[in-house]
């Protein structure tokens, strides 16, 4: 999704809602692959975006609902980026918690 420098959770979720969801509705993917770059984390000094752990969780909730709708729950995250180990751990944990909490809805 296309976001300006300094964008945070609000812009991230709006971008998913207004850009990604319509694209998914159009293309109806059979598999969703997410390149999870944690350099967008608000505490990453090299990144230019400001996503919180909660923002990563909310984005994962959206992706899980899209995977359920289009790809028979086929959703894969690949770690790619992020320069602060604590941010990587915390954001990854947020994603995993979202997946665990949505497990019964799949």
pLDDT in tens, 22-79: 999 999 999 999 999 899 999 999 899 999 999 999 999 999 999 999 999 999 999 9
Give CA–CA dist 62/55, Å, rounded. Answer: 11
Q: What is the model's pLDDT at position 104? A: 76
* pLDDT of res. 106: 64
Q: What average pLDDT score do residues 79-83 get? A: 90
pLDDT higher than threshold 80 for residue 13 = yes
Instruction: Answer positive or negative: Cα dihedral of 56, 57, 58, 63.
Output: positive
């Amino acid at each position: 999704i296309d976001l300006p420098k300094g964008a945070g959770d609000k812009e991230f979720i709006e971008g998913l809602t207004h850009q990604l969801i319509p694209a998914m509705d159009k293309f109806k993917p059979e598999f969703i692959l997410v390149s999870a770059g944690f350099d967008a984390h608000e505490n990453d000094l090299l990144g230019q975006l400001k996503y919180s752990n909660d923002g990563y969780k909310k984005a994962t909730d959206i992706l899980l609902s899209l995977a359920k709708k289009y790809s028979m729950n086929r959703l894969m995250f690949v770690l790619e980026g992020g320069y602060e180990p604590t941010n990587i751990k915390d954001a990854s944990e947020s994603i995993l918690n979202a997946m665990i909490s949505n497990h019964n809805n799949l």
